[in-house]
Amino acid sequence: MKKYAPIRPTVAAAQAMAGAPSYVRQGSLEVRLARSFKEIKAAQKLRYKIFYEEMQAKPDWRMRMTKRDIDAYDVVCDHLLVIDHDRPKKKQIVGTYRLLRQEVAEAHSGFYSAHEYDLRPLMSESFKAQMGEGRQLLELGRSCVHKDYRANSTINMLWKGIAEYLKDHNIAYMFGCASFEGTRPEDFKEALAYLYHNHLVADDFKVRALDGQLVEMNTMPAEELDVKRARRALPPLIKGYLRIGCFIGDGAVIDTQFGTTDVFILLPVERIASRYSKHYDLGAEANDSDEKVAAAL
């Protein structure tokens, strides 16, 4: 995104952040929402380190100068943080997820994913009826965890925090983009075809990549797939979402800024809440899917 909103949030937003709740605390680690613009800046610095220094994303001049991953959505999103209170003050934020609720998106510039995918099926009256009265969507994005904390225990805490957030804001479905590293879809065409044939979202609510950006996923017949090989080629984060029960949108999109090929993820909240929320089974141990998601982050 080349368009930038003002760097600092409004006074009202700052006051709201100051009262943000804490969701999980285990030892020195805490998961909660950002409570100040300073904490958002620290999350942006962590994102820059991971996306632009460890990975292959391409920063613009402003990002290079500030060493922060910045876009116009940061000032309206909630920022879920993993904080290690035993680290030096300026290095305590070791994980983050950016959260954009539907009510906030509709009051501002819409959803980030709308720059790649046609989200109108999720705004239809039939989909609203399926979600239930008073419930809303949540967009997830900009997820990353410091390399020293990519363990299943940390990711389990992060998802417990998300589960509490979902309950607080009456979320019915989460969505966002997950990525293959690289901009040559032919390098993982079998994995994309596997997603298309086995996990495509229902026709009534089919989110599809925008015209001009769509990369066809249905490049080979289902009977020609080597399913085991295709699943091995999936990024760990996508594998983790599939284990929870996500659906996949129609069409991939190449993101040249981040050096990735994106697919659209749609996930019913009940499948998260039953696993992670303290109102269900907070004491459950992290499993293999958590560890694989941790590796992806």
> Is pLDDT of 21 > 90?
no
Dihedral of CA 173/41/261/212: which sign?
positive
- Look at the chain and count its residues: 297
Spatial separation of the C-alpha atoms in residues 36 and 207, rounded to whole Å: 35
Spatial separation of the C-alpha atoms in residues 84 and 94, rounded to whole Å: 7
Mean pLDDT of 40-69: 95
Lowest mean pLDDT segment, chosen from 59-73, 125-139, 282-296: 282-296
> Is pLDDT of 252 > 80?
yes
For Cα atoms 24, 171, 150, give the angle at the middle one, nearest 5 degrees.
Answer: 40
Q: Tell me, what DSSP letter sits at residue 271?
A: H
Spatial separation of the C-alpha atoms in residues 147 and 296, rounded to whole Å: 10
Q: Looking at residue 264, what is its pLDDT? A: 98
CATH code linked to domain 11-296:
3.40.630.30
Could you count the other beta carbons within 10 Å of the beta carbon of residue 149?
18
Could you count the other beta carbons within 10 Å of the beta carbon of residue 19?
8
Question: Alpha carbon 38 to chain centroid distance?
Answer: 22
Q: Looking at residue 178, what is its pLDDT? A: 94
Residue type at position 174:
M
Residue 211 confidence class, pLDDT cut points 50, 70, 90: very high
Spatial separation of the C-alpha atoms in residues 249 and 241, rounded to whole Å: 13
CA distances, 177 to each of 69, 112, 152, 254 (Å): 17, 10, 21, 11
Q: Looking at residue 96, what is its pLDDT? A: 95
Mean pLDDT of 149-159: 87
Mean pLDDT of 77-93: 95
Question: Which helix (DSSP H) or strand (DSSP E) does residue 166 occupy?
Answer: helix 152-168
Q: Looking at residue 152, what is its pLDDT? A: 82
- Say if residues 236 and 171 touch (Cβ distance below 8 Å): no
CA distances, 46 to each of 49, 60, 73, 84, 149 (Å): 5, 16, 17, 13, 12
Residue 286 confidence class, pLDDT cut points 50, 70, 90: very low
Q: Where are the domains of the chain?
A: 11-296
Lowest mean pLDDT segment, chosen from 20-24, 51-55, 149-153, 288-292: 288-292
- Say if residues 93 and 154 touch (Cβ distance below 8 Å): no
> Is pLDDT of 183 > 70?
yes
Residue 70 backbone zone (phi > 0: left; psi -120 to 50: alpha; other: beta): beta
> Is pLDDT of 127 > 50?
yes
